[in-house]
Amino acid sequence: MGFVNREEELVVLEKLYKEEAFQFVVLYGRRRVGKTRLVQEFIEGKPAIYFLADSISESEQLKNLGREVGEFLNDPRKWGQS
């Protein structure tokens, strides 16, 4: 399926990404309207961590996030392991 009708949003995200100052962007909206796909398209080719929380416990979520961050930073420690 193609990625359509989100060019304006991508332009805004790119503009914010290029700013020198810290930016915090909140994406919200109804289910199944393309928020996740928008983020995935935006981070394509950029140094980024994409982490999608699911319905497992909070401690498991944190372990998984720590592992993703460790891999991104090439940190040899075993993040998220007891």
Position 78 pLDDT exceeds 90: no
pLDDT tens sequence across 35-74: 999 999 999 999 999 998 889 999 999 999 999 999 999 9
CA angle (15, 18, 19) in 5-degree steps: 90
Q: How confident is the model at residue 60, as a pLDDT?
A: 94
pLDDT tier at 77, thresholds 50, 70, 90: confident
CA angle (57, 61, 63) in 5-degree steps: 115
Position 80 pLDDT exceeds 60: no
Q: How confident is the model at residue 82, as a pLDDT?
A: 52
Domain positions in the chain are 1-47, 49-82
